[in-house]
Amino acid sequence: MLFKKVAEILADIIEIDADDIEPETEFIKEYGMRAIDVAKLVINCEKKFKITIHDEDVHGFKRVNDIVDYIEEKLSENAALPSDKGRESWYYK
Amino acid sequence: MENNAFDRAFEEERLKKTISLAKEQLSALRAKREEKEDEIVYLKKEMTEVTAHSIPNLWSTDNFYDLVQLSQYANSVSDKAAGHDHESNKIMTLERIIDSPYFARIDFKFDNKDAAENIYIGLSTLLDEQTYKIYVYDWRSPVASVFYRFTTGKVSYEAPAGTIHGEVSLKRQYEIKDGKLEYFFDADIQIIDEFLRLLLSKNASPSMKSIVETIQRDQDIIIRDMETDLLMVQGVAGSGKTSVALHRAAYLMYKGLSSNLSSNDIVIISPNTLFERYISNVLPELGENNVDTVLFEQILRSVLKTEDIQSRNEYLECLLTSGDKKYRDLLKSSMEFKCSDKFTGILKRFITELPNKRIEFSDVYYDGKHIETRQLLKMKLLKQNKGALLAFRLEQLEKSITESIHEKRKMRMKKLSSIISRQPVHVFEAEEVARMLSILESTALIKNIRKFTRLDCFSLYKELFADKNSFYRLAKGIKLPDNIEEIINFTLKNLEKDRLQYDDALALVFLNLKTKGYTDYAGIKQVVIDEAQDYHPIHFEILNALFSKARFTVLGDVNQTIGKHEDISLYDRLRNILNRKKSALVTLDKSFRCTSEILAFSSQFLDSKSGIRSFSRSGDVPKVIAAGSPSALDDLIIEEISTCQEKGYRSIALVCKTEQDSISLHERLKSRTDIRLVKSGTVIDLSGVFIIPVYMAKGLEFDAVLLCDVDNRHYNSEDDKNLLYIACTRALHRLNLFYTGDKSVLLQ
């Protein structure tokens, strides 16, 4: 399940138990996440799901489900594209 | 007509048989259910006992068989539980059948058969499982459509197997309550009004019968009309408009069902929450799940996504209770202006000039480079398809900007990384830190871009009033009210408050719909609007934008307005705004609900005496009763309530002018008699004794009405005349008016 995977990535960064994270958790507020943690979250999600997250979209991630929805949308867009075009790694590297 | 004894005995017998069959099925079902409940409990218990040991190591491959075992138990428990739910529904249906199994019968002779069959139609099917005889047909079944769609004679209907032809020799309707046959009668057309039904079931003379049939025929035309896109009905108080509206909804739904449309395609716009309850009383076929009833306020809240909006009732309460005449006039003129087609005209011009004049574009820089200039951005926007919604056009513009940013992002990231790598502190997190910087600067950038690509309707609306010069420029050629300056200042002051005024909320919704659109109601095919006289041009503009593809049925009575004046030209304005291909206006001028005495009394509050034709049903002459003191007034009211109760009236309403008056009357009387107070938002069963403000009583009817406080302080203006008319025409059988002090001048 997408949510579980995102929760695991998040839990890994802020070092808490993934089971404590809920879809409606406002993670930045609740866990006092720093900007650098958010950047890590973005990078790790991109690697895990092989997608591109645009930097100007990041400020819209408030609840865990916001990220999940975003990834879902990207994955369905990618499904329509030829393979390995998913994460355009040249973007941010 | 008198039911002859033979028919009566036949129907009684038939009812008894039907109910006993339903009872038999019910008790069998209940017994079976008890057995099953035990079984489910047993299975659950067994499942935990047998499989408990295996749960901890379930996911190791060695224990595959444990998993299988567990799932077998679980499946059978969940199957049984699902069956259990299904049976609960069945039990509810049977209970309903026992209470009132059917409401109509047709005698139908299939073309290939010799004898006619009696087909009974009810809310759900009842089948004898031994003989396969159908005791009751569901009103949605194909053969039942004959009852709704034809008079007696040759008919046909569509069934899954093809078109079925036959002949109907009888159409009969029943009133069955608590399993008892109250009355029945035969009529060629379906008689939908409870009043008319009752009349026909008693000793109606042939002339009476023919009057009822003409009324019904008039109503039938409205109910069954499928050709017209916009059907408007002007009906006097008590002409059965509301039941016509509801039956039209049922009929349209019926037609919809046969062409596989879901019932959600119909929406009824109703004036208040009381109405919803009333609907299910009048027409059981419509049930609560079948048609959506929407309050106009709900539309405002969902489009604006806020709860902080003054409701129409709150506005009316403000208008009716304020002692300051100047303030009252300002409230009223502000509402009148902002709901008028003049103001929607100004708003439309305002919207047209938004891209050119009101959007403040700014240059966009990224990675030290100029990517867009404000002039270019404006040109791009103006060049786009002007037919599309502005919000959509701006979204496209934003997308084109972000796309060009994306192209430059690779270069930017390189730069950021090289800056970071020169700082030894970040050496272990270089990628993350660079990304963090990019996110931070992109966030600031997009927020700047969205200052012009996202519309903030509220600030735009405020700007419209704050910039008076351009307001007058936009209003060029439009006749503004004399106190327009006052209205503008009043509006600006109100917009500073946390809670939106009703009229500003309407204007904001209009602005939102015309710039951003709203798709939640896009699938609606039929809209029924009741009490249309209370709506203004802006309401209809909003409804038209929301339900752009729907057909409309609009019902109203221009004599029953509150807080505004209305005449028959309402329907022309409506026709212009809704602008449908085929429209028609039908007038229902026969009032048959109130007694002729109540109708004659009420007509003194109408300006034009023409129009209303009464239906000869007589009762007591309404009295205007004076009391020497407030406490004597209360005594008289209590006395009248008990008189009404002795006469067996089921719904007795004490109508007051405002909610404030209602509350104080309730405080005075509640310890002396069993009485309820109806306030905004309450949903109660309309039987018993209650107190209700006149604007909430609109569209409802009561056996007896006690109109309180008809003194000159409460009722003295032209607007008050309308209120008196509305209050008096709510009474079906008995009406009396009470006051202390000076009698209202309107009653002289």
Local confidence band at B288 (pLDDT 50, 70, 90 cut-offs): very low
For residues A56 and B402, the answer to whether their CB atoms sit within 8 Å is yes
pLDDT of B667 strictly over 90:
yes
Average pLDDT over residues B177-204: 72
- CB-CB neighbors (< 8 A) of B410 in chain A: 90-92
For residues B654 and B706, the answer to whether their CB atoms sit within 8 Å is yes
pLDDT of B55 strictly over 60:
no
Task: Return the pLDDT at B1.
Answer: 41
Average pLDDT over residues B300-313: 90
- Per-residue 3-state assignment (H helix, E strand, C coil) for B682-717: CCCCCCEEEEEEHHHHCCCCEEEEEECCCECCCCCC
> Measured between CB atoms, which of B435, B441, B446 is closest to A42?
B435
- Nearest chain B residue to A44, by CA: B432
Using DSSP's 3-state secondary structure scheme, residue B422 falls into coil
* Non-local CB neighbours of B65 within 8 Å, separated by 6+ positions: none
Q: Is ipTM beyond 0.90?
A: no
Task: Return the pLDDT at B614.
Answer: 64
Would you state the structure tokens that stand for residue B601, as one six-digit string? 């009394």
Give the range among B51-60, B87-96, B321-330, B458-467 with minimum mean pLDDT.
Answer: B51-60
Which residues on neighbouring strands pair with residue B739, listed in sequence order? B626
- CB-CB neighbors (< 8 A) of A40 in chain B: 432
Percent of chain B whose pLDDT exceeds 70: 83
Mutation pick from A55, A61, A77 vs chain B, by most beta carbons of B within 10 Å, is A55
Higher-pLDDT residue of B189 and B556 is B556
pLDDT of B736 strictly over 80:
yes
Residue window 54-93, chain A: list those with CB within 8 Å of chain B: 54-56, 58-59, 90-93
Q: Do A38 and B438 touch (CB under 8 A)?
A: no
Q: pLDDT tens across B9-34, in order?
A: 999 999 999 999 999 999 998 888 88
d(CA B14, CA B141): 21
d(CA B408, CA B10): 88
> Measured between CB atoms, which of B409, B433, B443 is closest to A58?
B443
Average pLDDT over residues B493-512: 94
Q: Which of B343, B351, B441 is nearest to B393 (CA)?
A: B351
Task: Return the pLDDT at B633.
Answer: 92
CA–CA min distance A21, chain B (Å): 23
pLDDT of B326 strictly over 80:
yes
- Mean pLDDT over the full length of chain B: 84
Task: Return the pLDDT at B192.
Answer: 64
Percent of chain B whose pLDDT exceeds 90: 38
Q: pLDDT tens across A43-89, in order?
A: 999 999 999 999 999 999 999 999 999 999 998 887 776 554 444 44
Task: Return the pLDDT at A55.
Answer: 93
Residue A19 contacts B where some CB pair is shorter than 8 Å: no
- Nearest chain B residue to A91, by CA: B410
Residue B629 contacts A where some CB pair is shorter than 8 Å: no
- CB-CB neighbors (< 8 A) of B366 in chain A: none
> Measured between CB atoms, which of A40, A90, A93 is closest to B432?
A40
Architecture per CATH, domain A2-80, reads as Orthogonal Bundle (1.10)
Local confidence band at B59 (pLDDT 50, 70, 90 cut-offs): very low
DSSP B497: S
Which residues on neighbouring strands pair with residue B136, listed in sequence order? B126
B563: left (phi over 0), alpha (psi -120 to 50) or beta: left
pLDDT of B317 strictly over 60:
yes
Q: pLDDT tens across B398-456, in order?
A: 999 999 999 899 889 999 888 888 877 766 788 888 999 999 999 999 999 999 999 99
Task: Return the pLDDT at B735.
Answer: 94
* Non-local CB neighbours of A1 within 8 Å, separated by 6+ positions: none
Task: Return the pLDDT at A5.
Answer: 93
Residue B257 contacts A where some CB pair is shorter than 8 Å: no
Q: Which residues of B328-360 are buried (b: 16+ CB within 10 A; e: fewer)?
A: bebbebbbbbbbbbbbbebbeebbeebbeebbe
Higher-pLDDT residue of B624 and B43 is B624
CA–CA min distance A2, chain B (Å): 21
- Nearest chain B residue to A55, by CA: B439
Q: Do B409 and A91 touch (CB under 8 A)?
A: yes
Distance from chain centroid for Cα B190: 25
CB pairs under 8 A between A and B: 54
Residue window 31-50, chain A: list those with CB within 8 Å of chain B: 35-36, 38-40, 42-43
Q: pLDDT tens across B679-695, in order?
A: 876 666 677 899 999 98
Mutation pick from B400, B417, B428, B432 vs chain A, by most beta carbons of A within 10 Å, is B432
Task: Return the pLDDT at B115.
Answer: 86
Would you state the structure tokens that stand for residue B72, as one six-digit string? 């077998």
